[in-house]
Chains A and B, each alone.
Chain A
């Protein structure tokens, strides 16, 4: 028997409550809190997809979105 290992995902949770309190709840649920924001009521977390999905249904969570990859907009020679 093999248990399927859940993949970890990075997400930004926008919260209906104080982000610091939200961070405690997220940790309690099994997520790793990466950042607590001050300009946005939200936190950045990572953790197994199934845990994130469970947290998404919590009343204190307003919305959830992928913590997307951004990159330096590298120079191009084309069209110089």
Chain B
């Protein structure tokens, strides 16, 4: 008897061109054939150990040949899966902070983007203010991008029974629509949105937009972003989706003071599309990576961004989706530490950030862990003459590792100082 195709897959294969590729999972009959002989004809992406199965990518023509293969028992399509917000929130340990009562309550987060789906149940009571800078006359999101981003930051998850809850679900949202419903705008509109956000008293600003050209941080938008950060506001800006080529971070991701965010996957690998540093003037960027692949979040009514899941939610990927994970994280930390400066927030996020084992211009300081960020104790300045301040957090997980003789001396002095305290 030949392989059994899953019925839905059989119908799909009928329509598949001979050269079109498809990902499959096959289960073979262990008593009929060894795995090695099967692999001669079909190169596996993965071979499994718990069951006699493997994942393959084959052409339509090869897929039909699989059906004639007597050693194969069953064939399924290797369907794409999505990280629910609850998965990505768990990845950075946001729920551990929620359990301590830290949900972003009282923190003002501005989303500078395409607007928001104002009627979405997940934003009921969350939108403190909204303004349009595109001339549309309303901050209503006709694109879907801003709504998805806002949902990752502070969606309540009301329409999903709490599954697609944002990272800081009790934060207050300030919505600046600076991109038209086609998803584009001018730097001057973004600057106007930033000025409005500052006037509203925003403590965190999310910017999941940018220009394509690599930059050195001296353009008007990057300059304004730096000024906003100097005024005490945390800005999280997307690195861009122009990876894996190096030197692909546009403005305002190239701004010196913003926290520039790349995207990582569920498996803690930097996403292929995530833009890489350095900036045009040679600085390391991005600063961190956050989960950004296949994130399910709020869908604005009537929009088709990403892969719609149902009326209220859609899955999308990109550094645009990673960045609001950072903004939500900053909101949680600002609730816990209201006096924290943007620099302290950055240092907290760096503390024991998970090392993704790639260069700094790819991963920045790694993928943050919010429990570590919450527990981080900022550097203490010792009384004059007693030694160096406590070392700043390292980008690596694990113990502090001084890398040279001076570092060892500093480490020793700090250990001594800690004991004296």
Write the residues of chain A forming the contact surface with B, with a CB cutoff of 8 angstroms: 10, 12, 14, 34-35, 37-40, 42, 44, 65, 67-80
Which A residues are CB-close (under 8 A) to B191? Answer: 12, 35, 37, 39-40, 44
Which B residues are CB-close (under 8 A) to A42? Answer: 220
Which B residues are CB-close (under 8 A) to A14? Answer: 220
Bound together, the chains give a CA A40 to CA B187 distance in angstroms of: 13
Question: Which of B156-164, B223-231, B397-405 contacts the other chain?
Answer: B223-231
The listed residue with most A CB atoms (<10 A of its CB), out of B186, B224, B293, is: B186
Using CB atoms, name the residue of chain A closest to B318. A75
Q: Is the CB of B186 within 8 A of A73?
A: no
Which B residues are CB-close (under 8 A) to A75? Answer: 241, 305-306, 316-318, 320-321
CB under 8 Å from chain A, chain B span 315-347: 316-321
Which A residues are CB-close (under 8 A) to B251? Answer: 68, 70
Question: Which of B53-61, B204-212, B411-419 contacts the other chain?
Answer: B204-212
CB under 8 Å from chain A, chain B span 213-243: 213, 219-221, 223-224, 227-228, 238, 240-241, 243
Total A-B pairs, Cβ < 8 A: 122
Question: Which of B17-25, B177-185, B360-368, B370-378 contacts the other chain?
Answer: B177-185
Q: Is the CB of A70 within 8 A of B190?
A: yes
Q: Is residue B265 within 8 Å, beta carbon to beta carbon, of the partner chain?
A: yes
Bound together, the chains give a CA A71 to CA B189 distance in angstroms of: 11
- Classify chain B: how many residues form its interface, as a range: 35 or more
Which A residues are CB-close (under 8 A) to B272? Answer: 78-79
Q: Is the CB of B184 within 8 A of A71?
A: yes
Using CB atoms, name the residue of chain A closest to B178. A70
Interface string of B294-312 (1 = CB under 8 A from A): 1000000000011000000
Contact partner, B188, options A12, A39, A74, Cβ 8 Å? A12
Bound together, the chains give a CA A53 to CA B93 distance in angstroms of: 54
Which A residues are CB-close (under 8 A) to B213? Answer: 68
Chain A's nearest CB lies how many Å from the CB of B249?
11
Q: Is the CB of B219 within 8 A of A73?
A: no
**Cross-chain pairs A/B with CB under 8 angstroms, 8 sampled:** A37-B192, A44-B191, A67-B187, A70-B187, A73-B240, A75-B316, A78-B273, A79-B243
Bound together, the chains give a CA A77 to CA B318 distance in angstroms of: 8
Q: Is the CB of A80 within 8 A of B114?
A: no
The listed residue with most A CB atoms (<10 A of its CB), out of B185, B198, B240, B251, is: B185
Q: Is the CB of A70 within 8 A of B220?
A: no
Q: Is the CB of A35 within 8 A of B187?
A: no
Using CB atoms, name the residue of chain A closest to B185. A70
